[in-house]
Amino acid sequence: MFRTISRLLKRLHGQRGQMLAVGVMFMGVIAGSAAIAVDTGSYLSHRRSLQNAADAIALASSQGLPATGDALSLAHEWAELNGIEPEEMNITFTQQVLPGELNPKVTVELTVGHSLTFMSVLGMDSAEIRVTAAAVRTSPGGSDGLMPWSVLEEAKDLANPGEPVVLKYDSENVQNGNFGALRIDGNGANVYRNTIKFGSENGLCADGVPDCDDPSIVQTEPGNMTGPTRQATDYRINNTTAACDTWEETIVINPDGSHSIRPECNPFTAGGNEGSLRLIIVPVIESLCNGACYVTVVEFALFYLDGYGDGGCSGNDCEIEGRFIQSDTNYGALMGVYDADTFSHFVRLVS
């Protein structure tokens, strides 16, 4: 027994130097791993920050498209705001060339050096970070949440943004039995009323937009339907937030004449004002027809709902008016084909 213990102690004594060497090596591995982890974390954090900067620059720049000079100025302005030096950024513009390129596009590439603190002991003092972001400016190609009203393409082309136009006609201006109403969610007074109150559940596409699964043809809803129109329109007007109840309270007119929605009145952003019910989306149609017939949607327009025409809404007199909003507002629509003549445009990141 004592002989066995003595032999074991002698063996451990002889291996002590080896164990010390192994321990030192093991500590070196741990230290190296920790250094790699720290520098890798720093690298990834820097890369995320640069990707966010590239996204912001691309989105800002695309608002100037298709004018590349304006877009380039916006890119440099936002690069400076994000701490990016001119030599660290490369900008490429792709013009709209149908049928291949549906929308004008800007691509932003950032190349920035990243210092490595701990990995320098392994001979690596720095690493290069390269990120890319691209954004387009487009016109709405498809949408749900629509009003079951319409505006003629000809009337839209003659209109000035911010001036009232008719969305639903009264009996004095009826066209072939149609008053401008559409059967987006189906026919009948109750469906029509609910579609005005809450927006359509079904979607529509602008004619000719690729990769849009909804129809671009929709049936008209003939008849005046004064009661449902008044009830649903009153619902929107009466339930609108008090601070967003007039055009002036809701819309900002920019120096270039375009419009912006005041942030506190914007229902289309994450966490936006759901009580801003005077902001509506209306299909623009090619032409009206006779009776319950089919019309073609050619684009979509963002409107401010003014309310009723001069005669109010009673009997056969129920005219609805609204104002075109000329704005780069992304209300969740499907990307379409950029059209400079539409009043609604928006920008979006693309791969």
Which stretch of 9-13, 68-72, 192-196, 208-212 has the lowest confidence by average pLDDT? 9-13
Three-state SS for 92? strand
Mean pLDDT score across all residues of the chain: 87
Tokens representing residue 235 in the block:
């619902």
Q: Are 146 and 282 found together in one domain? A: yes
Domain end, chosen from 103, 138, 173, is at: 138
Maximal CA-CA distance, the chain: 120
What is the tally of structural domains in the chain? 2
Amino acid letter, residue 30? I
Task: State mean pLDDT over 263-272.
Answer: 93
- Quick: pLDDT tens for 315-338: 777 889 999 999 999 898 999 999
Q: Is the pLDDT score of 28 beyond 60?
A: no
- Quick: pLDDT tens for 150-199: 999 999 999 999 999 888 866 565 554 456 899 999 999 999 999 999 99
Per-residue pLDDT at 349:
96
Task: State mean pLDDT over 224-239.
Answer: 94
Band of the pLDDT at 292, cuts 50, 70, 90? confident
Task: Report yes or no: 122 and 32 within 8 Å, Cβ to Cβ.
Answer: yes
Match 């990307």 to its residue by tokens. 335
Which neighbouring-strand residues pair with 80? none
Q: Is the pLDDT score of 99 beyond 70?
A: yes
Q: Are 99 and 166 found together in one domain? A: no
Per-residue pLDDT at 178:
57
Per-residue pLDDT at 96:
94
Q: Are 169 and 301 found together in one domain? A: yes
- Report the alpha-carbon distance of residue 162 to residue 150 in Å, rounded: 17
Per-residue pLDDT at 14:
52
Residue 28 lies in a domain: yes
- Quick: pLDDT tens for 77-89: 999 999 999 999 9
Q: Is the pLDDT score of 221 beyond 80?
A: yes
Band of the pLDDT at 8, cuts 50, 70, 90? very low
Residue 351 lies in a domain: no
Q: Are 116 and 184 found together in one domain? A: no
Task: Report yes or no: 225 and 192 within 8 Å, Cβ to Cβ.
Answer: yes
Per-residue pLDDT at 124:
65
Residue 349 lies in a domain: no
Q: Are 115 and 82 found together in one domain? A: yes
- Report the alpha-carbon distance of residue 278 to residue 305 in Å, rounded: 5
Q: In terms of pLDDT, which residue wins out, 290 or 208? A: 208
Q: Are 214 and 163 found together in one domain? A: yes
Per-residue pLDDT at 36:
66
Q: Is the pLDDT score of 25 beyond 60?
A: no
Q: Is the pLDDT score of 37 beyond 80?
A: no
Q: Are 242 and 318 found together in one domain? A: yes
Domain end, chosen from 79, 107, 138, is at: 138
C-alpha pair distances (Å), 311 with each of 231, 304, 319, 322:
16, 19, 8, 15
Q: Is the pLDDT score of 69 beyond 60?
A: yes
Domain end, chosen from 138, 173, 206, is at: 138
- Strand intervals (E) in the chain: 89-94, 105-115, 126-138, 140-143, 151-152, 164-168, 204-205, 217-219, 251-253, 259-261, 279-285, 294-314, 317-324, 327-328, 334-335, 344-350
- Report the alpha-carbon distance of residue 224 to residue 214 in Å, rounded: 27
- Report the alpha-carbon distance of residue 27 to residue 8 in Å, rounded: 27
Which stretch of 31-45, 48-62, 161-175, 235-249 has the lowest confidence by average pLDDT? 31-45
Q: Are 268 and 134 found together in one domain? A: no
Q: Is the pLDDT score of 230 beyond 50?
A: yes
Q: Are 148 and 117 found together in one domain? A: no
Residue 38 lies in a domain: yes
Nearest Cα to Cα of residue 275 among 303, 306, 239, 307 = 239
Residue 118 lies in a domain: yes
Instruction: Give the range of the structural domain holding residue 15, as residue numbers without chain letter.
Output: 2-138
Residue 350 lies in a domain: no
Q: Are 89 and 188 found together in one domain? A: no
Q: Is the pLDDT score of 241 beyond 80?
A: yes
Per-residue pLDDT at 21:
47
- By the 10 Å C-beta count (0-12 exposed, 13-18 middle, 19+ buried), 121 is classed as exposed
- Report the alpha-carbon distance of residue 239 to residue 331 in Å, rounded: 20
Task: Report yes or no: 344 and 327 within 8 Å, Cβ to Cβ.
Answer: yes
Q: Is the pLDDT score of 12 beyond 60?
A: no
Q: Is the pLDDT score of 22 beyond 60?
A: no
Q: Are 234 and 326 found together in one domain? A: yes
Q: Are 76 and 198 found together in one domain? A: no
Band of the pLDDT at 229, cuts 50, 70, 90? very high
Residue 256 lies in a domain: yes
Residue 58 lies in a domain: yes
Task: Report yes or no: 25 and 42 within 8 Å, Cβ to Cβ.
Answer: no
Per-residue pLDDT at 330:
87
- Quick: pLDDT tens for 200-219: 999 999 999 998 999 999 99
Task: State mean pLDDT over 41-45.
Answer: 79
